[in-house]
């Protein structure tokens, strides 16, 4: 398999004025993916598919919102992995907080 890594050249920031911004964007997305994976892993162990009370308590969610938030987290990770085609990454930032 051919190498497909694209190196951001940080050697001449006088010319590549937006290189740091791109690098920050990539790092932020990577961090979000890793944290999301951790959150989803915990969530998977705190519900049985029907009862989300433990998940709601553990994550500070109002009663009855555990399933919806789990779906947004799971959908966000799935979108990042290319498993799902959805807008859950955007929706979670607008609906949860």
Q: What is the DSSP letter of 61?
A: P
Grade residue 1 by pLDDT with cuts at 50, 70 and 90: confident
Q: What is the pLDDT of residue 93?
A: 96
Under a CB-based contact definition with an 8 Å cutoff, are residues 29 and 37 in contact?
no
Under a CB-based contact definition with an 8 Å cutoff, are residues 10 and 20 in contact?
yes
Separation CA 71–CA 74 (nearest Å): 5
- pTM of the entire structure? 0.90
Section 41-65 average pLDDT: 98
Q: How far apart are the first and last CA of the chain?
A: 42
């Amino acid at each position: 398999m051919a190498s497909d890594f694209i190196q951001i050249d940080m050697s001449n920031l006088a010319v590549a004025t937006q290189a740091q911004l791109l690098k920050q964007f990539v790092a932020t997305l990577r961090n979000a993916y890793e944290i999301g994976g951790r959150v989803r892993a915990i969530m998977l162990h705190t519900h049985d598919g029907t009862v989300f009370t433990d998940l709601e308590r553990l994550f500070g969610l109002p009663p009855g919102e555990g399933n919806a938030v789990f779906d947004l987290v799971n959908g966000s990770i799935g979108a990042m992995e290319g498993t799902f085609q959805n807008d859950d990454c955007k929706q979670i930032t607008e609906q949860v907080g």
